Each structure stands twice: as structure tokens, then as C-alpha cells.
Structure 1
Amino acid sequence: MERVTRLASQRAVVIFSKSTCCMSHTIKSLFYDLGVNPSVHELDEEPRVAKEIEKALIRLGCSPSVPAVFIGGQLVGGVSEVMTLHLSCSLVPLLKQAGAIWL
């Protein structure tokens, strides 16, 4: 849990992902299209710590565990939560507040 908290607080936007997950790809594409340069942790490329991180994400309420998006050090959630914020025009203001974009 401590590792996830530490990693999530290091950048304005942090995404825990798997390179083979289509939903992770969708979320990363959305953030890139918005001009965000997130810190992306591909769990399938970090086998030593992947299980520990996945367990921590599940304990935090992420189900499935990826993609998991943190903005300003706070867990936003997965695809449903991020897309809900985006469609309600709440995502961009949240990203501005966290210093991830300056539009």
C-alpha cells in the first residue's frame, strides 16, 4: 500500500496499467489527447512488484485493478470513473487543479 501511495503522489497524474489491456490503452490515450504527460506504471512490465501493487489497488477499491488513475495523489478510479468525469466536463478542471494541464 505504501508503494502505491508513494508512486501516486510523485506526479500530477499517475496511471497503473497493463500494456496488454485495451481499457488501459483507452485511458492513456484520453490523457495524452488532453495534453497530460502521466506517469504510467505498466504492471506487466514490473513482475517483481506487480502482485503487491495489484493487491494494494484492489484494497483501495479498484476492481479490476487496472487501469487505476490517480490525480493530484488521490485515487480517481478506473475507466468508468474517469469517463464519467470526462463526459460531465469535470475531468479537465480536475487536471488543471492538479497542475497536469494549463489550458
Structure 2
Amino acid sequence: MDKVIRFASDKGVVIFSKSSCCLCYTVNILFQELGVNPMVYEIDQDPDCREIERALLRMGCATAVPAVFVGGKFIGSTNEVMSLHLSGSLIPLVRPYLQQPQS
């Protein structure tokens, strides 16, 4: 779990992902379209992949990936991220990490 917390705190927006996961790709593209350049950590490229998955599940992820952290805080997986976006609550969360101003 320490590894997850360390990576989640490395950058403003961090997505734990698997390279073959289409939902991970979708969440990543959403953040990029909002003007955020997230750090994407492909857990399937890590020898500790299973341990990382278990840690993410223990932290409250419904599914191991995608797991999105903003400012070191877990905000959710695909459903939670999309709900935040549709309700207008996602941009205020990521505003400090925007590369370009949003109108």
C-alpha cells in the first residue's frame, strides 16, 4: 500500500491503469481534454501488479483500475469520475493542475 500512496502523491492527477483497459484509456483522455496531463501508472508493467491491485481494492476502489487520485486523494474509478464530471464537480477538483485556463 505504501507504493500506491507514494505514486498517488507524485503528481496532481494520477491514474492507476492497465495498458489493455479501455475504461482506463477513456478516463485518461477525459483528463487530457480537460487540460490536465495526468501521470498514468500502468500497473501491468510493474512486477508488483497483484499487490498494487489488492492495495487499490483495500483503499475502496470498486475495480482495481482505473483508480484516479487528485492531490493524493482517491476520488474513484470510472463511474465516480464520470459522475463528478457530469455534475460539474470535476473541474474545480483539478483546476490547480490544469495546463491551460478553462472558461
TM-score if structure 1 supplies the norm length? 0.93
Corresponding residue number in structure 1 for 2:2: 2
Aligned pair 1:81/2:80, yes or no? yes
| Aligned-pair CA distance for 1:51 | 1.0
Counterpart amino acid of 1:44? D
Counterpart amino acid of 1:100? Y
Counterpart amino acid of 1:2? D
Structure 1 runs (4+) greater than 2 angstroms displaced: none
| Percent identity (aligned) | 52
Corresponding residue number in structure 1 for 2:52: 53
**What is the CA–CA distance in structure 2 between the aligned matches of 1:63 and 1:85, rounded to whole Å?**
16
| Aligned-pair CA distance for 1:43 | 1.2
Deviations, residues 71-93 of structure 1 (Å, cap 9, x unaligned): 01000010010000000011001
TM-score if structure 2 supplies the norm length? 0.93
| Aligned-pair CA distance for 1:13 | 0.2
Deviations, residues 53-81 of structure 1 (Å, cap 9, x unaligned): 11100001112100000001000010010
| Aligned-pair CA distance for 1:45 | 1.7
Gaps of 5+ in 2: none
Gaps of 5+ in 1: none
